Structure 1
Amino acid sequence: MRVLMWINSGSEIPGGHRVQLQQTARALRALGVEVDEHDGPFLPDGDWDIVHGFQLSAGEVAQARQQGFPVAMSTIYVGLAYGTAAGGGGPTLRDGAGRTYRGMRYLRASLRGREPLTRLATLEMEDQLDRMRAWSMADVLLPNAEGEARHIRDDLGVLTQTSIVPNAIDARLFAPGFDRPRLAGTVLSVGRIEPHKGQLAVIEALRGLPDVTLTIVGPTHPHHREYANLCRTAATDNVTLLSGVEHNELPDLYARHHTHVLASWYETTGLVSLEAAASGCTIVTTDRGHAREYLGDDARYCDPADPATIRQTTLAALGDSASASLRDRVTSQFTWEDTARATLAAYERVVALRGPRTSAAAD
C-alpha cells in the first residue's frame, strides 16, 4: 500500500491535526505502508494507491480524482452549530455554542460596516459549500467519533461512506507517569492558545483560589496573538504560562499535575485529555463535542461559556482520584497503532472497490 497524506489549509498552525497526520503516518509505516507526507495547494507528482487528505478543499480533492487516485478524508469536523445557529426545536448546548461564537463574529463585522458584514456571511457560506463538495467527492470519510459522523450527515447532507478512526496517543510515552505522586491543587491546561480553547475563561475561573495553581502550556495560534496577550494580562500569581514545550516534555508535566482542564468551545476528542488521562490526571473537559464517547463517566464536563462551572468542575476533579479504568481504556483502545489499523482497513476497502487506477496520468 502506497499512500500520500496531504494537508494544505491550516498546515502552518500547530495542533492536533498535525499530530494526527504525523502519528498516523508513523504507525502506518510500522505496518509496512509506504507513506509520503505533503503540505501545499497542489498535488505533487507520484504514484500512490490512495490519497489521504486533511482539510483539503474541493479543488484539491478534484486534483486527486482527476489523476485517478481514490481519496480518504480525515474530517476533524466541529459541527455546523459551532459556526451557525441551528434551526428547529428547542435550544441545545451545541446550538448555544454555535450562536455565541457566530454572534461574536457577526457583531465585530457589523461594527465595521455593511461591507465587512456581507463579506463575512459570503465567506462563511462559501467555506461550508466547499467542505460539502470536498467530502462528497471523497471515497471515504474518516471521522474520529460516531457523533462526528452523524453531524456530517445531518448538518451537511453528505452521504459519503464513513469509517470511524479513533484519535489516539502514544501510550508508551504517557502511561508510565500514572502512579507518580503529585501536589494537591495543581491544575494543567495544554493546548494551542486561542479563543476556541478557552484558556482565558480557565484563568478567570480559578482566580482567587489560594490553594490552586494553574499551568497553561501551548503555542500561540498565529492568528490570535491578541488573545494570548489577554491571557498573560489576566494571569495572577497562581498562573504560569509556558509556550516553548516540546511534545516529549509533556509526559513530565502531566505527571506533576493533579487535574487537566480543557474548556474548549468544541472538541471532537481532545488529544490532550487522552494524554492526561493516561498520565494519571483527573479530567475536566468541555461538554461541547464528542469527548464523552472516549471518556465516558470517568471525566467531568464543564460549560466553556460559564467560568463558574469551570471552577466547580475543576475543584471537584481536584478531589477525585485518577481513574485506572480510564487509563486502561485509553491505552488499550486509543493508541496510534489502533488508529493505523482502522485507517489501513478503510484504505483497503476503498482500493478494492475502486479497482485498478485509471487516468491520463496512469497511461
Structure 2
Amino acid sequence: MDVLFQIRKDYLSNVAGDSIIVQNLRKQLIDLGVKVDIHTDERINLSKYDIVHIFNTIRVQESYQFMKHALSNHKKIVLTPIYWDLQNYLSETKQTEKLVYWHYSEKKRKFLFDHCDIYLPHCIGEAELIIRNYHNYVKYEVIPYGVDERFSMGTKHYLMDQYGIDNYILCVGRINEQKNQLGLIRALSNEKIPLVLVGSVNDKQYLKKCMKEVNGNILLLDNVKTSQLNSLYKSAKVHVLPSWIEYPGLANLEAGMAGCNVVTTEIGSTKDVFGEFVRYCNPYDEQSIYKQTMEAFETATNNIFRDYIMENYTWLKSAKKVKDIYLLLTEQKR
C-alpha cells in the first residue's frame, strides 16, 4: 500500500504540532509495513498512491489545493483536521486581520470536510465541533494523537551543571501569543522558583514583550533537540501550558510521559483528552495560572498520568488504527 502525506510547505522550518504528528505517524506506519511519502507540492504525480492523507485545516489554503488535486485524480482521501474553532481566541486577542481571514477561509474548510472519504478527529469534542460548524456528516473515526515513549527516558538534573537550575517550572511551546508565556511570566513574577521556557521564537515582538516583564529567574532555550527535551522534561517538577487555546497540546503528553505534574489551559480540547490527570487554569486570570502552578509544584509527582498516556496515547496505537482505516478504504484484506 502506498500512501501520500500532504502538509504545509514550511512544516520542517516552522515546527508545530502538525509537524510532530506527521513525522511520528509516518515512522510508525512504515514500521507496520505501509509505504508513506511526504510531499508539500499540490501538483505532485499521484499515480502510484492508493491514498492521499491531508493534514491541517487551520492552514487551509494549502490543504484545499491538496484536496482539489487528489479529487481530480480520483484518489481516496483521508483528512486529519487538527482543527479547533479559533474565532473566540482571535477576537479576544484582537488579531483582527487573522479573524477576517478565518471567516474568509471557512468555505475552504467546509470543502475539505465535505469531500474527504473519512476524517480523523483526535477526540469526540473535535468531531462534534466540526459537525456543528460545518453541518458535516462524512464518516469520521476518532484517532487520538500520540506521544513518543522515549520521553520517559530522560535524565534528571539536566540543567544543574550548566545553569545551576533544578526542580524548575517548565513551559514548552513556540514563543508566540497563543502560548501565553507572557501571562505565565506575570503570574510567577514574585516567585523565586526557576522558570524555563523552551521553544522556537515565532514572534520576536512578542518575545520582547515577555522579556520586559522578566523579574526573576527565567531561562529561555531555543533550538532544543528532542534528545535534550527528554531530559528537560525529566528534570522539571511542573510543566505549564497556559495557552489561550490548545487542542490539546502535544507538549502536555510529552511532559506527562516524562513524569511531570501538568498544568494546562482549560480552553480547547484539553479536558476531553486529559480528564482528571492534570490541573486546568484560566489563561485570562493570572491568579488562576499562579494557583494551579504552585499547587502542582507542591504536589509529589507519580506515574498515574504516565500510565494513562501509555495505555491510550502512543503513536503505535494511533498508527495501527490509521492502518486499519487505510485497509478498509482500499478494500484490502487484513
- TM-score, normalised by the number of residues in structure 2: 0.90
Aligned with 1:258: secondary structure? strand
State whether structure 2 residue 7 is matched by structure 1 residue 7.
yes
> Equivalent of 1:302, from 271, 281, 288?
281
Residue 196 (structure 1) aligns with: 178
- Deviation of residue 125 (structure 1)? 2.3
Q: Supply the distance in 1 between the matched residues of 2:195 and 2:122 (Cα, whole angstroms).
A: 29
Q: Which moved more, 1:40-49 or 1:249-258?
A: 40-49
User: 1:128-277 residue pairs with structure 2 within 5 A?
Assistant: 128-171=106-149, 173-177=150-154, 186-210=168-192, 212-221=193-202, 224-277=203-256
How big is the alpha-carbon RMSD for the aligned residues of Structure 1 and Structure 2? 2.4
CA distance in 2, matches of 1:306, 1:345: 44
Aligned partners of 2:55 and 2:63 also within 8 Å: no
Shift of 1:331: 1.6
Partner of 1:343: 322
Verify: 1:83 aligned to 2:87, yes or no.
yes
Query: Which letter maps to 1:3?
Result: V
Q: In structure 1, what residue type is equivalent to 2:87?
A: G
Whether the 8 Å contact between 2:154 and 2:232 is mirrored in structure 1 is no
Which one is further off, 189-198 or 232-241? 232-241
1:128, 1:15 → 2: CA distance? 22
Which structure is richer in relative contact order (CA contacts within 8 A, separation 6 or more)?
1
Question: Aligned partner of 1:144: which letter?
Answer: H
Question: Where do residues 271-290 of structure 1 align in structure 2 (5 Å cutoff)?
Answer: 271-290=250-269
- State the match for 1:320 in structure 2: 299
User: Aligned partners of 1:321, 1:155: CA distance in 2, in Å?
Assistant: 41
C-alpha change, 1:272 and 1:318, in structure 2 (3 Å) is: same
Partner of 1:88: none
How many Å separate the matches in 1 of 2:293 and 2:38? 39
**Cα offset for 1:41?**
3.5
The offset of 1:100, in angstroms, is 1.1
In the alignment, what sits opposite 2:59? none
Q: Which deviates more from structure 2 when the two are superposed, residues 271-280 or residues 21-30?
A: 271-280
Q: Structure 2: how far apart are the matches of 1:129 and 1:160?
A: 16
Contact 1:263 1:304 in 2 (8 A): yes
8 A contact 2:157–2:166 mirrored in 1: no
Determine if contact 2:263/2:279 at 8 Å carries over to the other structure. yes
Uncovered stretches (5+) of structure 1, i.e. residues with no partner: 85-96, 110-118, 354-363
Q: What corresponds to 1:116 in structure 2?
A: none
For 1:169, what is the secondary structure of its paired residue?
coil
Question: What pairs up with 1:45-84 in 2 under 5 angstroms?
Answer: 45-55=46-56, 56-79=62-85, 82-84=86-88
Please report the TM-score for the alignment, with normalisation by the length of structure 1: 0.83
| Cα shift readout 1:27-50 (whole Å, capped 9, x = no counterpart) | 000000000011233334441110
Question: 1:259 deviation in Å?
Answer: 0.2
Distance in 2 (alpha carbons) for counterparts of 1:228 and 1:99? 21
Residue 165 of structure 1 deviates from its aligned partner by: 1.0
Q: Distance in 1 between matches of 2:132 and 2:281?
A: 25
Report the Cα offset of residue 98 of structure 1.
5.9
Q: Distance in 1 between matches of 2:15 and 2:84?
A: 17
1: CA distance, partners of 2:99 / 2:180: 23
The count of aligned residue pairs is: 322
- Give the whole-Å Cα distance in 2 for the aligned partners of 1:120 and 1:166: 28
Query: In structure 2, what residue type is equivalent to 1:190?
Result: V
SS of residue paired to 2:300: coil
Are the equivalent residues in 1 in contact too, given 2:169–2:195 (CA < 8 A)? yes
2:33 is the alignment partner of 1:41: no
Q: For the Cα contact (< 8 Å) 2:238–2:263, is it kept in 1? A: yes
Do the aligned partners of residues 154 and 98 (structure 1) sit closer, same or farther apart at CA in structure 2, a change above 3 Å counting? farther
Q: Distance in 2 between matches of 1:290 and 1:45?
A: 34
Contact kept in structure 2, 1:20 and 1:167, CA below 8 Å: yes
Corresponding residue to 1:105 among 75, 95, 115: 95
Change (3 A) 1:178 1:329: farther
